[in-house]
């Protein structure tokens, strides 16, 4: 779609949001390709493009929105043959193929500017490959442990800060006749969340990234240490029975009904929990606790991004658009509950008056010093992720199969990362 100049009201609303307001010398056409095709994200993208267009009288913004699934199959072709000036994608390993193919622009100079360096520090690692930055984030959401606060109070439990307390809490929950955690691993990825946290807490963010990048053998003793910690929970009976039969949504009633007390999950689970009848005052959230002393806390926070293709024609306007997107006020607006309903990436932004969102924002903005991971099936290549998550689920059901699982994963690593 070709966006014409915005209204005076739109210009007034957009004024002062970022340095773009002073950058009136931009001209020509800014072509943006976006995968924000669902209704709410599409409205956000269209408004961002329109507002940015209104700030620059001599610039015409042309926005093309492509169905998200179709976009995934088309991106390499349009980056190679007819590159736009700005394109949506994803952080970390999902951007690596395009960085390695020299299809995404190095924008490390933008990340050196105080507006990004000071306010987007928690997401820098997710945008960095080989020490350089190749895009900016525009939204993310937290993972963590959502739990039944009323049951914790009943049992005299506190939010755990370390592994010993985490397990001690679990044993008291089991002794009360409940399960510690609900999970539906039918579609595998939920088990990936458990591996991410256990591995990052056992070995740290850098090791986790090295493993998902194929630089570490799955038979490494440090990987086995992660599974040893996981097995402690499995052997305790911490997880609901027959979890491999349930989707993540089908596992929600165990928590709603009080048969299980917690769920390691993304913030998108909060609304379904509330809709299923769990009162807001019975639900709370805590950061997955430390395991290994000295290992900084990293978090899963899947991050959506904007990039400048290497073949872009109007890189000056593209860079200004990226500055605009990550500015504090724009971040507040586009991530509000009436828009994306997720978390702003700028630490100076504000968050809707929602307890879970505010806790997640605080955690990711200032209390995730170890780094931000993207979730296992984004950080690892697709084939590696598929085989590994099958192994994670198998381990949760048949933990004695660990050696066979790790050998299978190692064979896959040797093939996938050639």
Q: What is the pLDDT of residue 382?
A: 85
* Mean pLDDT computed over 137-142: 94
Report pLDDT digits (tens) over 7-18. 323 333 333 444
Q: Quick one: 155 and 291 in the same domain?
A: yes
H-type alpha helices, 328-381:
328-334, 355-366, 376-379
- Note whether residue 157 is domain-resident: yes
- Note whether residue 412 is domain-resident: yes
In whole numbers, what is the pLDDT of the chain averaged over residues? 92
| Torsion angle (degrees, nearest 10) of CA 72, 388, 410, 380 | 30
Burial (CB < 10 A; 0-12, 13-18, 19+), residue 70, is exposed
- Note whether residue 108 is domain-resident: yes
Q: Quick one: 341 and 295 in the same domain?
A: no
- pLDDT of 384 over the 70 cut: yes
Q: Quick one: 251 and 205 in the same domain?
A: yes
H-type alpha helices, 159-294:
163-175, 189-203, 205-212, 221-236, 252-256, 270-275
- pLDDT of 172 over the 90 cut: yes
- Note whether residue 355 is domain-resident: no
Q: Quick one: 235 and 132 in the same domain?
A: no
- Note whether residue 361 is domain-resident: no
End-to-end CA distance of the chain: 41
Q: Structural domain tally of the chain?
A: 2
β-strand partners of 28: 59
Q: Quick one: 134 and 193 in the same domain?
A: no
Q: What is the CATH number of the domain that holds 392?
A: 3.40.190.10
* Mean pLDDT computed over 163-189: 97
Q: Are 389 and 377 in contact (CB under 8 A)?
A: yes
β-strand partners of 262: 147, 181
Residue 379, C-beta contacts closer than 8 angstroms, at least 6 positions apart: 92, 93, 208, 209, 212, 373
* Mean pLDDT computed over 63-81: 94
Q: Quick one: 192 and 256 in the same domain?
A: yes
Q: Quick one: 259 and 307 in the same domain?
A: no
- Note whether residue 359 is domain-resident: no
Q: pTM for this one? A: 0.84
CA atoms of 105 and 176, how far apart (whole Å): 56
Q: Quick one: 96 and 167 in the same domain?
A: no
CA atoms of 141 and 342, how far apart (whole Å): 6
Q: Quick one: 15 and 109 in the same domain?
A: yes
What angle (nearest 5°) sits at the alpha carbon of residue 174, between those of residues 172 and 179? 130
Report pLDDT digits (tens) over 81-107. 999 999 999 998 889 899 999 999 999
- Note whether residue 368 is domain-resident: no
CA distances from 398 to 135, 164, 171, 180, 227 (A): 41, 24, 21, 19, 12
What is the DSSP-derived secondary structure letter of residue 220?
S
- Note whether residue 357 is domain-resident: no
**What residues make up the domain containing 96?**
2-140+303-349
CA atoms of 79 and 18, how far apart (whole Å): 28
Q: Quick one: 253 and 334 in the same domain?
A: no
Q: Quick one: 293 and 313 in the same domain?
A: no
Task: Say whether 248 sits in a helix, a strand or coil.
Answer: coil
Q: Quick one: 277 and 319 in the same domain?
A: no
Report pLDDT digits (tens) over 194-209. 999 999 999 999 999 9
Q: Which of 22-26, 232-236, 404-408, 410-414 has the lowest mean pLDDT?
A: 22-26
Count CB neighbours of 247 within 10 A: 12
Report pLDDT digits (tens) over 250-267. 999 999 999 999 999 999
């Amino acid at each position: 779609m070709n966006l014409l100049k915005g209204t005076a009201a739109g210009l007034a609303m957009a004024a002062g949001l970022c340095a773009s307001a002073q950058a009136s010398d931009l001209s020509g056409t800014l072509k943006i390709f976006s995968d924000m095709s669902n209704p709410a994200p599409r409205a956000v993208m269209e408004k961002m493009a329109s507002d940015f267009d209104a700030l620059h009288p001599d610039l015409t913004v042309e926005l093309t929105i492509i169905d998200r699934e179709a976009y995934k199959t088309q991106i390499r072709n349009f980056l190679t043959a007819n590159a736009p000036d700005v394109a949506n994608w994803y952080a970390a390993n999902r951007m690596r193929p395009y960085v390695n193919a020299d299809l995404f622009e190095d924008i490390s100079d933008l990340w050196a500017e105080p507006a990004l360096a000071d306010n987007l520090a928690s997401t820098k690692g997710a945008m960095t490959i080989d020490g350089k930055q190749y895009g900016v984030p525009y939204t993310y959401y937290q993972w963590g442990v959502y739990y039944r606060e009323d049951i914790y109070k009943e049992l005299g439990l506190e939010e755990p800060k370390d592994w010993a307390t985490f397990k001690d809490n679990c044993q008291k929950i089991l002794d009360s006749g409940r399960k510690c955690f609900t999970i539906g691993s039918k579609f595998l990825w939920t088990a990936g969340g458990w591996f991410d946290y256990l591995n990052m807490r056992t070995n740290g963010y850098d090791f986790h990234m090295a493993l998902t990048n194929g630089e570490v053998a799955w038979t490494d003793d440090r990987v086995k240490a992660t599974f040893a910690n996981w097995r402690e929970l499995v052997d305790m009976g911490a997880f609901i029975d027959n979890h491999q039969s349930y989707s993540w949504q089908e596992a929600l009633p165990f928590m709603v009904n009080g048969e299980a007390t917690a769920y390691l999950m993304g913030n998108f689970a909060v609304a379904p929990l509330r809709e299923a009848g769990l009162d807001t005052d019975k639900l709370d959230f805590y950061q997955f606790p430390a395991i290994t002393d000295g290992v900084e806390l990293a978090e899963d926070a899947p991050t959506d991004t904007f990039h400048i293709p290497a073949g872009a024609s109007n890189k000056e306007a593209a860079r200004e658009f990226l500055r605009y997107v990550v500015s504090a006020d724009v971040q507040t607006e586009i991530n509000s509950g009436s828009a994306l309903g997720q978390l702003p990436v700028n630490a100076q932004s504000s968050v809707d008056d929602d307890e879970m969102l505010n806790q997640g924002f605080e955690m990711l903005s200032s209390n995730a010093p170890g780094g931000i991971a993207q979730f296992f099936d984004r950080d690892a290549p697709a084939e590696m992720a598929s085989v590994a998550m099958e192994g994670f689920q198998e381990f949760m059901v048949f933990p004695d199969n660990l050696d066979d699982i790790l050998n299978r994963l190692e064979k896959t690593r040797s093939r996938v990362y050639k």
